[in-house]
Structure 1
Amino acid sequence: MTAKLPSPTVLTGRHVRLEPLTPAHAADLFEAAGNDEEVFRWVPVAIPTTPAEMADNLTARIDDPSCDPFAVIHLSTGKAVGVTCYFDASADDESLEIGGTWYGRQVWRTEVNTESKLLLLTHAFEDLGMGRVCWKTDHLNERSQNAIKRLGAQYEGTFRRSRQRRDGSWRDSVYFSMLADEWPTAKDRLTTRLAAGPMG
């Protein structure tokens, strides 16, 4: 199978729907996470203090040619509660990155992140034909690293002094990946965990 680049699509599970991100999601997302320093602690954007600033953040993400962004809709409320993205997709290399993810605190340690990643990984491996999906995160962001490990991703290495944070300090980036032949086992594990209840 020849890999395909992502295109705007809707991915629907039992708990969440991922749909193409638009500025129209700004009001919901500001309600979910506006002004919350902890939500945006590791996200390389200014913390939005108004719905208009949230809309500006979303527009910057939408306009990034390396990014295919999704709004995460919680089906129980019909409201957007977070953002997640595909980055740097390459059909030739059969690879893409999942990142730029954040959620309002009200859905932390719930089924939202697990099902969002299950939908993204299923689409990447089974619909787009990717052979490798990767993640990278700040070396100080242990919560994100643990969440990535729980998906079944493997640690690849650490790129030192790879990106400047908002405060001017420098982070090391910790890289993880999952390969297509690892996906069936990871999918079974994630499906079982999702059925068992909240886990983050």
Structure 2
Amino acid sequence: MLEKRTLSTEKVSLKPLSEHHLDELFNAGQDPALWRWILDNYCKTPQTLSEWFHNSAQFDAQQQLVMGIYCNTQQRIVGTTRLFRLDKHNLSAEIGHTFVGVPWQRSCINTHSKYLLLKYAFETLKLVRITFGTHENNQQSRDAIARLGAQFEGIQYKNRKLVDGSFRNSALFSIIDEQWPELKQQLEAKL
């Protein structure tokens, strides 16, 4: 089981998502633009968010760690992210299911969040590979992943079924353990 622990920098804390975070998460998720590329808008209503929290966010603690993104300066939850699909045999995982409320996008929030998860994955869990995936047409997300130093690997076709029944093609990126020391220095310079 992944240890539930808070990960922090000076500006951002990743806190294991709990029920008392849901009101702030709901407020952060109210801009419809957030949900264009995400599989399902779980911030539609407080009830939808509660169902998502109990059914999706709590799914398989052996393979995922769901975190609330907490802005330390504003003292509030501004989004969510997770480490998931932990493969203990192959020492790999994925980082994603991320959303950051529109007022905090293009700020330091995403960089700090991803830095914390990458550091935890490579240095604490001793993983050798982290992958990222996003909708192939979500250029803003693709650019954010590339800015982290992740390498584009290609398009995975029809790998995610969307709420409307259609399928998404995903742009896949990765970072491996040999790349981490240099990328860590670059990210720390940005922090």
TM class, shorter-length: over 0.9
What does residue 80 of structure 2 align with? 83
Which has the higher mean CA deviation after the structures are superposed, 177-186 or 37-46?
A: 37-46
TM alignment of 1:1-200, pairs within 5 A: 6-34=2-30, 36-65=31-60, 66-194=63-191
Which has the higher mean CA deviation after the structures are superposed, 165-174 or 117-126?
A: 165-174
TM-score by length of 2: 0.93
Please report the RMSD computed on the Cα atoms of aligned residues, expressed in angstroms: 1.4
User: Cα deviations across residues 103-159 of structure 1 (Å, max 9, x unaligned)?
Assistant: 111100110000001111011101110111111111011111111111001111211
* Cα distance in 1, alignment partners of residues 137 and 55 from structure 2: 25
How many residues are aligned here? 189
TM-score by length of 1: 0.89
* Cα distance in 1, alignment partners of residues 57 and 163 from structure 2: 20
1:47 positional shift: 4.6
* Cα distance in 2, alignment partners of residues 180 and 119 from structure 1: 15
Runs of 4+ in structure 1 off by over 6 angstroms are none
DSSP 3-state at the match of 1:43: coil
Identity of aligned residues (%): 33
Retained in 2: the 8 A contact 1:155–1:175? yes
